[in-house]
Structure 1
Amino acid sequence: MAHRSLFLSLRRSSGLACAQNRTRFASSGAVSSDLVEESVEGDDLRSRILRLRLPKRSATNILQKWVLQGNPVTLSQLRDISKELRRSQRYKHALEISEWMVSHEQYELSDSDYAVRIDLMTKVFGIDAAERYFEGLPPATKTTETYTALLHSYAGAKLTDKAEELFQRIKDSNLCFDALTYNEMMTLYMSVGQFEKVPMIVEELKQQKVSPDIFTYNLWISSCAAILNIDEVRRILDEMSHGVGCNESWIRYLNLANIYISVGHLDNASSNTLVETEKRITQGQWITYDFLIILYGGLGSKEKLDQIWNSLRMTKQKMIGRNYICIISSYLILGHLKEVGEIIDQWKQSTTTDVDMVACKKIMVGFRNIGLVEIADNLNEILIENNLSPDMIN
């Protein structure tokens, strides 16, 4: 459960794949509420639609009434409202917005509009409906984005055979694809535990002269770490450091990954016993979650760090020192010292592992070695506040 949800975080728009809210309601009450809402003075189309909290209520009706009242509806309005609905996981209403856009010929839809529709159909009606919609599209709309959207749906449902078949169709087409398409296949292989296939996708990406992005590297590194090929991890990190696309986010990622590998004792992970979770995830697989934390630490996304760490704590996973080291380092480099203190306190109270003071000192040394002395000093102060003193260790 945790294994799937965490890797779906790597998907496009950094959104986690969740089920639509299915709140029960009384239909008579919903109708009367529609009438009340429309009487509100000073409202707009966005407000009216966003007030439709219950899934069975119709965004289409709101649009129709808005137009009948003589109000214009622009394509940019619809896209913005749809984006906000998707962000709050209100996929049924977002799909109704998409259907309105498709059914009104005055709107000139983009490739992204069709791709969003495929994703929404998957969430609302399932893979089969999305597949039928894609196959029924005119050839001109079977583009890089729509192909990738369907591949994303297959990968999310772990339909390996269908994903591989579609990926072959993609490679046989004359379209140009970017790293996102390859990342979808890599994410799929990671989610089903076929780590050995990830480097093959990277090789194909390079053969096609496609530039890998930070997600590509994270998936590649995670696959190698999961099978404890640490030498290859270091080689990939070196490749990243010399890459043309290396930027501030990549540098943060590299720093975190190097500190993590130096401190995390990955070479000894293979000797650890299986971790007891609902699906008995191995230590090797669990390492990949750490690299997901490193990724979002590199991207500077505290929100994603919070989500992942909270998800991990809610599982039956028995945390080990390596997991704490990873999240502490990521919060430190982003300057969130309050959270670091809270996690150290959680570590102290853990029944499965004691605070590894040697590892904490190595974290400080790692930050000092890359010139981040202030961050190292911050960690030292937090440890002292928690009645821990790493500077006393020889």
Structure 2
Amino acid sequence: MSYATQILSISRKSFQFIKRFSFLATPTLPSQPSATSNLLTVKKEQSGVVSVPRTPFFQKLPLRDLYRWIFTAPESTSLVVPIIEKWIRGGGTVNYNRLLSVIRKFRSRRRYRNALEVLSWMFEKGFSKHKSGDLAIRLDLIGKVNGLEEAEFYFNSIPKYLRTGECYSSLLNCCAHARDVGSAERIMEKMRALGFAGSILSRNVLLNLYYQTQNYDKLENLVCEMQEEGINFNSYTFGTLISAYAATSNTEGIDKLIAQLEHNWIQYWHLDWTVYAIAANCYRKQGLFDKAFNVLKKSERLITNKKRRVALTFLMTRYAAIGKKEEVMRLWKILTTDGKLYSRAYLAVIASVLKFDDFESAENIFKNWESKNLGFDIRIPNLIIGAYSKKGNMEAAESVVDWTIINNGEPNLKTWSYLSCGYIEQGNFSMAIEYIKEAISVCEVGHHWMQFWESLAAIFEYLKSKGDMEEVEELVRLLRSKDLVSLDVHKKLMNWIKDVESNVHVIDVFCGT
């Protein structure tokens, strides 16, 4: 049976499943154009989707809502400034505060490259008059996007009279982001000398750096120093300390921190729900589910209206992690009656119910998500595709992929990798190979998602056992064409294939070891 025939057969078998999703309408927002792979073309033709040349997606959207326009732009592209300029050409107006709000939202979503793109444009067009606060934000973004060396170069280019505490704090952030303890400590000493080190913010940056680099003695010394100087802890401080104690399995230390917090509640009245949420996660990792449950309940009591949806969305996932499905559904019911929901909430609840293998609830919530017309988000169908593949229900998994394509969604690396992994588990390597090729075709350089590489490794092990050099060479050629492996790794991989007695694991070959 030819591969195209196999795909056609699968599509026919999955027709009944697609009918269950017949309520799903084409999403309002078309996806960003990309190179279409052979398999994707076959599936589109079979589903009746006509491929037509696409214009850039932002040309199709109305100009009435700048924020929606900007935040649906793909993260990996430089489309944000063209969107703003198109908005202006269409008669829209922007000002300093609106643009700063855009940057703030990009930073909160960790879309630092897009935030830097907008801020650089603001400087170029004169929206920012080199205020120290804007310089500090730009410095922080340069460090996150381009690295510490470029951040230091930019810092040195700032006139001395504008190097305020904000700028030094941003440079400290850059050192922490690069996990450069020595540079961070030097900056902190300079800040102390200039009188810029009195705030809790700079101490928290250094505290978290010590935690991330496992410098626990330095962390304890800094805590003592903060206490001696009368610097009150905030939610971030407590969260970092709880995480540090958890990293060393010091549950007694966590208990003491919680007790300190509750004993001095008047002093720490400003602390929010995140402190208990972090503690719950740490207790869970230690297998202390009852303690985790108790502090999650305390976390709920600290939720304010301002962060209500964000908090409830996060806590759903924490209840799921300790096996409390009834709590997940309780919070979901609250969320659905609280007002408008966004894709993040649907992602959280679908991932949570799938932990209990509750596919019926997942499908119903999926149906609800699509009916809200929030814009296409590949992560949501991917959750269901991954869950079905893990359970070996490949017919259902492929049907969700078909639905994605029919609705102008673009399957990504995870989509194809889930399918490949599912077929590997079933021992159907011919299908697994075809889908891993699709995964390679959409994989970007530097992608380290482990399941992709594990699936690829299993396939190479299989091909080596079969002596199928032709297929091996085809896969290696595809990997090289996408710059996913270096020439050196390519050579080592071919030598590994030929050496039938080699005990080296192919993952180690991919890593270049």
Q: 1:295 to 1:155 in 2, by over 3 A?
A: farther
Whole-Å separation in 2 of the counterparts to 1:144 and 1:294 = 37
1:369 is aligned to: none
Amino acid at match of 2:176: A
1:85 is aligned to: 106
1:4 is aligned to: none
Contact 2:143 2:151 in 1 (8 A): yes
Structure having greater relative contact order (Cα 8 Å, sep ≥ 6): 2
Contact 1:91 1:124 in 2 (8 A): yes
Aligned ranges 1:215-230 → 2 under 5 Å: 215-227=236-248
Report deviation, 1:89: 4.2
2:146 is aligned to: 125
1:179 is aligned to: 200
2:268 is aligned to: 246
Aligned ranges 1:352-367 → 2 under 5 Å: none
Contact 1:122 1:129 in 2 (8 A): yes
Contact 2:144 2:177 in 1 (8 A): no
Contact 2:80 2:114 in 1 (8 A): yes
Whole-Å separation in 1 of the counterparts to 2:278 and 2:327 = 10
2:221 is aligned to: 200
Number of corresponding residues = 281
Report deviation, 1:39: 7.0
Of 174, 178, 193, the residue aligned with 1:157 is 178
Report deviation, 1:223: 3.1
Q: 1:237 to 1:333 in 2, by over 3 A?
A: farther
Contact 2:197 2:203 in 1 (8 A): no
Whole-Å separation in 2 of the counterparts to 1:160 and 1:43 = 47
Whole-Å separation in 2 of the counterparts to 1:237 and 1:162 = 33
Is 1:33 matched with 2:31? no
Instruction: Find the residue that maps to 1:158 and give its secondary structure.
Output: coil
Report deviation, 1:211: 1.6
Of 144, 158, 164, the residue aligned with 1:143 is 164
Task: Name structure 1 gaps, 5 residues minimum.
Answer: 1-22, 267-289, 311-323, 347-394
Amino acid at match of 1:33: T
Contact 1:118 1:134 in 2 (8 A): yes
Report deviation, 1:334: 11
Q: 1:69 to 1:131 in 2, by over 3 A?
A: same
Report deviation, 1:187: 1.3
Whole-Å separation in 2 of the counterparts to 1:257 and 1:112 = 33
Whole-Å separation in 2 of the counterparts to 1:55 and 1:256 = 31
Whole-Å separation in 2 of the counterparts to 1:197 and 1:52 = 42
1:7 is aligned to: none
Amino acid at match of 2:268: C
Of 82, 88, 93, the residue aligned with 1:72 is 93
Q: CA offsets per residue over residues 34-62 of structure 1, 9 Å max, x none? A: 5x745755435434434542634443344
1:99 is aligned to: 120
Report deviation, 1:101: 1.9
Q: 1:297 to 1:238 in 2, by over 3 A?
A: closer
Q: 1:63 to 1:234 in 2, by over 3 A?
A: closer
Of 153, 170, 175, the residue aligned with 2:191 is 170
Q: CA offsets per residue over residues 269-300 of structure 1, 9 Å max, x none? A: xxxxxxxxxxxxxxxxxxxxx89x97994765
Scaled by the length of structure 2, the TM-score of the pair is 0.44
Whole-Å separation in 2 of the counterparts to 1:296 and 1:113 = 38
Scaled by the length of structure 1, the TM-score of the pair is 0.54
Q: 1:342 to 1:174 in 2, by over 3 A?
A: same
Q: 1:251 to 1:121 in 2, by over 3 A?
A: closer
Amino acid at match of 2:190: R
Report deviation, 1:251: 8.5
Contact 2:176 2:209 in 1 (8 A): yes
1:281 is aligned to: none
Tell which deviates more after alignment, 89-98 or 50-59.
50-59
What do you get for the CA RMSD once the two structures are aligned? 4.8
Is 1:191 matched with 2:212? yes
Amino acid at match of 2:121: W
Whole-Å separation in 1 of the counterparts to 2:73 and 2:280 = 48
Report deviation, 1:264: 6.0
Aligned ranges 1:295-334 → 2 under 5 Å: 297=299, 301-305=311-315, 327=322
Aligned ranges 1:361-376 → 2 under 5 Å: none
Contact 1:144 1:177 in 2 (8 A): no
Report deviation, 1:174: 1.7
Task: Name structure 2 gaps, 5 residues minimum.
Answer: 1-31, 36-52, 304-310, 333-348, 359-513
